[in-house]
Amino acid sequence: MHKVTLIKGDGIGPSIMDEAVKVINASGANIQWEEAYAGLAAFEKFGTPLPDETLASFDETRLAFKGPLTTVVGTGFRSINVALRQQYELYANVRPAKTWPGIKTRFDNVDIVIVRENTEGLYAGLEHYLTPKKDIAESLAVVTRSASERIIDYAFKYARDNGRKKVTVCHKANILKYTQGLFLDIARETAVRYPDIQFDEKIIDAACMHMVMNPQQFDVIVCTNMFGDILSDLTAGLVGGLGLIPGANIGADAALFEAVHGSAPDIAGKNLANPLAVIMAGIMMLDYLGETAAAAKIKTAVDKVVNEGIFVTKDINPESNCGTIEMGNAIVEAMK
């Protein structure tokens, strides 16, 4: 029995997480859910977006399955997502984006995994105004040798363990010679230890151009925090949108699985949200737990439903009348 802290989140969160939990429970995986709160839902209930009860649950389970959180603006709280990643040292953010034959996109055969450093860089939280008038602000990017070695080694090891051929480091070392230069140097050093994996390096702006012209040349990409954040939305766009992309946040002794997208307040409460990203995150979580049979069972069912294109949400097939709940039901049905 695996105990998992379940945070349904805000906006579309509860509706897509209900479908994901339904699908995971129907897969035969041995999960015991422990519900906890974070984000706006927690702020409204407990007066804080990250209650002690939630941290206590995560401390015990070391595993969380989380819906998107609305960032509470103007309360002095930083992003809860960033806080959780830093507190539990969930240093590797893994975001796979792969085309589905049944979803029409500009390119076929895109299969890219972004491995993003998740604890430092420009998201280290070192940001302030320099003047009382608040007309000059600065953010400091922190890049350490230890965190860079850890994430770059993770990317190469991920490539090797998952039958991938190439790792591309995307950087801006031509301008940011120290922070990005250090990251690039470490990527070059690490590549030598993985002679079986092809190594490539691309300056981030050129990488964006290459990605929208010839995305098939990319396999595993490793980069610092903010570049990974931006590039992973780009890869989402290449394969059909934000509703499809899962994200794993992996640390040495804890992990958190979620969608890449946010709480989508524009479509919340309308049964329109695509539950696929969190269901795919659930598959990653089951693989992480060694529940590989359950993970494979869900993936087969998801492929069937998505490629048939009937019981899918409107972001995948605008002609469809199917909503979040109907799509979840169809995936459960396809597993039978």
Ligand X SMILES: NC(=O)c1ccc[n+]([C@@H]2O[C@H](COP(=O)([O-])OP(=O)(O)OC[C@H]3O[C@@H](n4cnc5c(N)ncnc54)[C@H](O)[C@@H]3O)[C@@H](O)[C@H]2O)c1
Q: What are the tokens at 292?
A: 């590989």
Shortest separation between residue 240's beta carbon and ligand X, angstroms: 10
Site for ligand X, residues 51 to 80, rule: CB under 6 A: 68-71
Judged by DSSP in three states, 270 sits in: coil
**Positions 144 through 203 that interact with ligand X (CB under 6 A):** none
3-state secondary structure 61-125: HCEEEECCCCCCCCCCCCCHHHHHHHHCCCCEEEEEEECCCCCCCCCCCCEEEEEEECCCECCCC
CB of residue 105 to ligand X, shortest distance in Å: 15
Q: Is 266 a catalytic residue?
A: no
Q: In a 3-state reduction of DSSP, which class is residue 246? A: strand
Q: Is the dihedral of CA 252, 253, 259, 261 positive or negative?
A: negative
Which residue of 243, 246, 323, 328 would you call a contact of ligand X, by CB under 6 A? 243
Quote the least distance from Cβ 232 to ligand X, whole Å: 11
Output the six-digit token pair for 152. 């770059």
Q: Which of 315, 327, 332, 334 binds ligand X (CB under 6 A)?
A: 315
Q: In the 8-state DSSP scheme, what is residue 216?
A: G
Q: What is the closest distance, in whole angstroms, from the C-beta atom of residue 221 to ligand X in the complex? A: 19
DSSP 289-304: HT-HHHHHHHHHHHHH
Site string for ligand X, 77-96 (x = CB under 6 A): ----x---------------
Classify 135 as helix, strand or coil: coil
CB of 14 to ligand X, least distance (A): 12
**CA gap 205, 176 in Å, rounded:** 13
172 is catalytic: yes
Annotated catalytic residue, options 10, 37, 91, 172: 172
Which of the following is catalytic: 123, 158, 219, 297? Answer: 123
Binding mask 256-295 for ligand X (x = CB under 6 A): --x--xxxxxxx-----xx--x------------------
Binding site for ligand X (CB under 6 A): 12, 16, 68-71, 81, 242-243, 258, 261-267, 273-274, 277, 315
